[in-house]
Amino acid sequence: MTQAVAIVIAVSLVVFVAAHVSLLVSLLGRPSRVRGLVALVVPPLAPYWGWREGLKLRVYVWATTLTLYTAGVALLANA
Amino acid sequence: MRAAYWMLGALAVLSIGYRYYSAFLAAKVLCLDDARATPAHLHRDGQNFHPTSRWVLFGHHFAAISGAGPLIGPVLAAQFGFYPGFLWILFGVVLAGAVQDFVILVASTRRGGRSLAEIAREELGPRLGLVTAVSILFIVVIALAGLGNVVVGALSESAWGVFTVGASVPIALAMGLYIYKVRGGSSRGIREATAMGCALLFAALLVGKGVADSPWAEHLKLSRTVLTLAMASYGFVASILPVWMLLCPRDYLSSYLKIGTIFLLVAGVLVVNPPIQMPGVTPWIHGGGPILKGPLFPFVFITIACGAISGFHALVASGTTPKMVDKERDCRTIGYGAMLMEGLVGITALVAACVMPTEDYVAINTDPKVAVVASAETHGEGLAASAGDLARAFPSFTEHDRDLLGVPASAGQGAGDLASAAGLAPRKLPASKVLALSNGALFSLGYHVDPAAPRATTLDEGDFARLGLHVKELPHLAETSGEVVAARTGGGVSLAVGMARVFSALPGMNALLAYWYHFAIMFEALFILTTIDTGTRIGRFLMQEFMGRVDPRLGASTSVTGAVLSTLLIVAGWTYFILTGSIATIWPMFGIANQLLACTALAIGTTLLLRESPRRVYALVTALPLAFVSTTTLTAGVESILVLYWPMTRVAATRTTGLVNSGVTGLLLVCIGLILAGSARRWVALLRAPRAATVVGAVAGMRALESRSA
């Protein structure tokens, strides 16, 4: 069980990082490019600006994987 | 010392370098102008010449330049301590490496996307052009041997690693076929194949553990020789197959994996903030180190090649990239920016290596000789405590164990066992061979292993001490990673261990060290194999060009005989170096070859700047790095021959290798000496010529090129 949760956590983290990088690259490729760099330092701004740019799928993935990761870590900590 | 603060400092220096120094180069030195048409527009053919978005091209260029060099070089150079590698990467990349890539990219873009060898022929004349082409060919072969050696070191005797990396070949093939045969090359097909490819790679990683614990594992635990030959076969096939079938999908998969993993590692270092356990400077700066025998000067500068400055990049910056540049000003982001990113990769690798205890770093990266039987002469250190113990353990030895130890076939069958054991007593074996013994053999000799388990991952500190290996956290790392990690030279394993330590320290990840370790191994191997198939193909083109001088039919790109022959020659070249060398001999030769190519690129860059930049003094931006890199590399070349390769010729077993290594390194030094002398002559001529005439000549030349292209 612990191993399975740990694998879910790892996969969530990897997908989360991929979604975050993808949002940053998209923001860097659009006007007001500085948002891409700012979102690198302040991660929550990536989904905020991503949503405003219409990158909804990536924002969903970002939020879901972050939730899964946090929940998984909490679960393991209490196990 | 905490890693995160150094990482933040490095990020700040790289940002300042990009914001200010590259802006100065772009505006004042190279005078980038979007009004000047690029070859992507002038020769647009939809195949090689195609205007490409800046960020897409940045990704392509970064994937092409970043092989294993920035990962492995810093790990090996960590033996000198944290500071030398850190400072050389940081200032080398900002002031030399990125400048070289940027200048050569702009030069090639302004010359219709011509290659470095062609630019050299144009600038230095046909003879020196030929010398440049010959040195490039040798450099490619040596570079491939250096990188291939890392894969072999990381995958030897590892069933999990071999399975995961082996699975990536059919996955990449399936991706290629799906994209081009099922989806007709559409972007939707690319997206779908990417998602499937990534998912399958992770599945292979998870399944690999099961395979390693199954009876199949025995068939996948390959020796260095078998692995080298398997890799040679792969390199040959991948270089002959159409690019879309294997090379492109693999390159594509690797790019995603690399960017994502490096980002994850940087984030991991910032979050975990592990302490740097490697001293700032070690006593090995004076020479005699466990991995590299030479002193800090000049060896740190050739060991860390790609992370700071790499001649191999000049081949890419004058190869595919300039043919795709949309606007001239994009060159700043692509040429300078991508190299800074590579510097960041190098710093990340250095940090990953330096967060482990020095004892463990040395134990992983060296393969010391272990006495078969302990004696007073070996201070009580040895595989068996006495000849009697060894004789009693004979019946537990498998055939593989007997081969490793050289135990007579009759031993273990009663009479003469003690005599056989006594005969083995004076012998010494590399630690890697001792640790490759079966658990049954080790258990019968009193080591703390499970005799039924497939790998000796439960050896404790005392067991290592018996063998003469001093370790700290290594037993825990071996147990949790599920691999024998000691005496695994090449840099790949220690990098994987370092990365796994950082990743597994993230919240919720401590139970997954084994997976992170194999993820890191897969990450390294995928990239190196990408470099190997791409590099073999580049080498094949160069070789075919030479063969074309003998018989034009063999030089034609459609010639199957020419392609097969030239690929065979290139593959045979790098396979020979891997089979006959070790990381201690191959990596310095790789570093020297790579840095000598950088000297060539910087010399050509200086010539171009003297002729074309608004002020002659601006040529110093490449001339100063050239002075530094050529001094360090030529010194390292001469020292390598005198200290490393020539002494090998005095021992019968290594005589041929020593002669070949000395000969190749000597030939490269002569080639570069000729190129530098030819360049210096040209600089004197340019400095003596009236300034207006040279600039007018350059502008006229450029216009003539543009009109000819149009």
What is the rounded average pLDDT for all residues in chain B? 85
Mutation choice for B interface testing from A1, A7, A12, A65 by most B CBs within 10 A: A7
Highest averaged pLDDT of the listed ranges B110-119, B257-266, B602-611: B602-611
Confidence at residue B609, expressed as pLDDT on a 0 to 100 scale? 94
Q: pLDDT grade, residue B221 (50/70/90)?
A: confident
Confidence at residue B290, expressed as pLDDT on a 0 to 100 scale? 85
Lowest mean pLDDT across B203-207, B341-345, B403-407, B676-680: B403-407
Q: pLDDT grade, residue B412 (50/70/90)?
A: low
Q: pLDDT grade, residue B12 (50/70/90)?
A: very high
Residues of A in contact with B516 (CB under 8 A): 10
Residue B634 reports pLDDT greater than 90: yes
Residue B503 reports pLDDT greater than 50: yes
Q: What is the pLDDT of residues B528-544, one digit of tens each?
A: 777 787 788 878 878 88
Confidence at residue A4, expressed as pLDDT on a 0 to 100 scale? 80
Q: pLDDT grade, residue B606 (50/70/90)?
A: very high
How much is the ipTM here?
0.74
Residue B243 reports pLDDT greater than 80: no
Lowest mean pLDDT across B139-153, B245-259, B394-408: B245-259
Q: What is the pLDDT of residues B180-193, one digit of tens each?
A: 788 877 778 877 88
B202/A contact by beta carbon, under 8 A: yes
Residue B366 reports pLDDT greater than 50: yes
Confidence at residue B695, expressed as pLDDT on a 0 to 100 scale? 54
Lowest mean pLDDT across B145-159, B315-329, B687-701: B687-701
A72/B contact by beta carbon, under 8 A: yes
Kindly state the average pLDDT of the residues B477-506.
Answer: 85
Q: Which long-range contacts (CB under 8 A, 24 or more apart) does A27-32 make?
A: A27/A53, A28/B55, A29/B53, A29/B55
What is the share, in percent, of chain B residues with pLDDT greater than 90?
29
Confidence at residue B411, expressed as pLDDT on a 0 to 100 scale? 64
Q: Cα separation of B79 and B90, whole Å?
A: 18
Alpha carbon separation from B509 to A11, A17, A69, B402, B505 (Å, rounded): 11, 15, 10, 40, 6
Kindly state the average pLDDT of the residues B469-476.
Answer: 89
Confidence at residue B415, expressed as pLDDT on a 0 to 100 scale? 55
Residue B69 reports pLDDT greater than 60: yes
What is the share, in percent, of chain A residues with pLDDT greater than 70?
97
Kindly state the average pLDDT of the residues B553-571.
Answer: 86
Confidence at residue B710, expressed as pLDDT on a 0 to 100 scale? 42
Confidence at residue B414, expressed as pLDDT on a 0 to 100 scale? 61
Residues of B in contact with A10 (CB under 8 A): 509, 512, 515-516
Cβ within 8 Å, pair B202-A11:
yes
Confidence at residue B239, expressed as pLDDT on a 0 to 100 scale? 80
Confidence at residue B5, expressed as pLDDT on a 0 to 100 scale? 93
**Residue B93 contacts residue B339 (beta carbons within 8 Å):** yes
Confidence at residue B146, expressed as pLDDT on a 0 to 100 scale? 82
Alpha carbon separation from B302 to B74, B132, B222, B593 (Å, rounded): 10, 20, 31, 9
Mutation choice for A interface testing from B11, B344, B506, B510 by most A CBs within 10 A: B506
Residue B692 reports pLDDT greater than 80: no
Q: Give the DSSP per-residue string, B118-155.
A: HHHHHHH-HHHHHHHHHHHHHHHHHHHHHHHHHHHHHH
Cβ within 8 Å, pair A11-B206:
no
Confidence at residue A49, expressed as pLDDT on a 0 to 100 scale? 95
B260/A contact by beta carbon, under 8 A: yes
Residues of A in contact with B272 (CB under 8 A): none
Q: What is the pLDDT of residues B545-559, one digit of tens each?
A: 788 888 888 877 678
> Which backbone phi and psi does B2 adopt, to 5 degrees?
-110, 140
Q: Looking at the partner chain, which of A11, A18, A76 has a beta carbon nearest the beta carbon of B260?
A: A18
Q: What is the pLDDT of residues B435-447, one digit of tens each?
A: 888 888 899 988 9
Confidence at residue B102, expressed as pLDDT on a 0 to 100 scale? 96
Residues of A in contact with B512 (CB under 8 A): 6-7, 9-10
Residue B599 reports pLDDT greater than 90: yes
Residue B309 reports pLDDT greater than 90: yes
Cβ within 8 Å, pair A3-B259:
no
Residue with token string 């006229």: B700
Kindly state the average pLDDT of the residues B212-233.
Answer: 86
**Residue B441 contacts residue B396 (beta carbons within 8 Å):** yes
> B408 in helix, strand or coil?
coil
Q: pLDDT grade, residue B232 (50/70/90)?
A: very high
Cβ within 8 Å, pair B55-A10:
no
CA distance B14 to chain A (A): 14
**Residue B598 contacts residue B65 (beta carbons within 8 Å):** no
Residues of B in contact with A27 (CB under 8 A): none
Q: Cα separation of B48 and B186, whole Å?
A: 18
CA distance B536 to chain A (A): 31
Q: Looking at chain A from residue 11 to 30, which residues have their Cβ under 8 Å from any Cβ of chain B?
A: 11, 13-14, 17-18, 20-21, 25, 28-29
Confidence at residue B61, expressed as pLDDT on a 0 to 100 scale? 83
Confidence at residue B700, expressed as pLDDT on a 0 to 100 scale? 45
Q: Looking at chain A from residue 32 to 71, which residues have their Cβ under 8 Å from any Cβ of chain B?
A: 69
Mutation choice for A interface testing from B19, B60, B263, B330 by most A CBs within 10 A: B263
Residue B508 reports pLDDT greater than 90: no
Please compute, for residue B610, the number of CA atoms within 13 A of its CA located in the half-sphere on the CB side: 22
> Which backbone phi and psi does B370 adopt, to 5 degrees?
-115, 135
Kindly state the average pLDDT of the residues B24-52.
Answer: 88
Residue with token string 């070191």: B153
Residue B521 reports pLDDT greater than 60: yes
Residues of B in contact with A25 (CB under 8 A): 55
Cβ within 8 Å, pair A11-B506:
no
Q: Cα separation of B430 and B144, whole Å?
A: 26
Q: Cα separation of B223 and B402, whole Å?
A: 15
Residue B501 reports pLDDT greater than 80: yes
Measured between CA atoms, the residue of chain A closest to residue B508 is A73
Q: pLDDT grade, residue B46 (50/70/90)?
A: low
